[in-house]
Structure 1
Amino acid sequence: MEINKKRCKNQSNNNYNCTSNDLIIACIATFLLSCLALKLIFTLFVFQKGRMSFAGFFTFYFLISLFGQIYAQSSYDSGYDHGCDDADISKPSRQYLNQPGKGPLFHSDEFMEGYNDGYGDCYDPNIEDSNGNGLYEPNRDASQTPKSNNDVPNLRSIIEDAPIMSGLILLFLIIMIVIAVKRNKSRKKPQERKGFSQSVRHNVLRKQNHKCAHCKRLLNVVDYDHKNGIRSDNKERNCQALCPNCHAIKTRREKSKR
């Protein structure tokens, strides 16, 4: 994410509350994508027998992690903007961190790291500044040991990788939408009715001694029926031989239950 100098500055007062335009766009896009993902959770990956499906849990965890990263990015980016603006202000009293309630004590380490980076990138040595280089160190408790470079996350690299993250999020949601469409089509598609194979019919008729499974009469005309009503299940255990009368009665009963 490329950060431009002095992206927004309010000339009417001394407080420069600058917010990154591209960050606002990214947050709005993330919010819309998150709403879509939540919609998929409750429509596609609905609760199954009182328990959330694995895909639903993964999507929920993914969103929580994403919002945590967005917060870290916004803190750093906001600090960078304020630092870049303060670098162009020669009077310390007008700088953002010297305003009441705006000092280093009121901001996180991520904000101050962004502030220092922004101030350093935008600092013009031709502008007089009584604060020297103008950099502020984040306030830390005396009992804490200083953090090494390996302990502090490189938020700049995270921000630069934001387009990649957005692309991965979009790809993830597209895959979820494709799965949802396919599942909805499979649910709406009528079950294809297939007949039992000749071997299944022969075995069932032999086991029933050529008699109807219901009325036990000798079969002159045979109707092969699916026991569980699933017409695509053509296994032998789901097949029974019925006379036309018993088959018609069973069919009417099944229709009346629907």
Structure 2
Amino acid sequence: MRKLLFLALIGISTLIIPFSVFAQEPQTGETIEDDSQVKYIVGAGLVFVIIMAIIAGRYRKKFFAESLPIKEWTKVEKEQVRIRQDGKCAKCQKPPPARWEYHHIDGDRNNISLENCEGLCPNCHSIETHE
């Protein structure tokens, strides 16, 4: 990230386009054109702020994507699914050997309704997930 920032700062001088600043003389009201170096500093500051905003936006997007809570069914809801399926896998109709796995029927992980949940044995869940 430092390297990117350093390269961006080096390129600032090529990005800044000279512009004129106009002001009015307080006593006469005449327009004064000023071509001082201040505008380059302001332009460089603006470019720096834009670059930092882009970097911060990318970091924020990555951070929030990783920290979003994953929605899942509660223990009570999982038990209701097992009861609904009479303790059998929804695909092979055999009782799971060790543990249950729960599958989103429509493939949408945010849809955690009971109608979208089916209990599978690990083998059937593996097959269902890779189809």
Compute the TM-score of the two structures, normalised by the length of structure 1: 0.30
TM-score, normalization by structure 2: 0.50
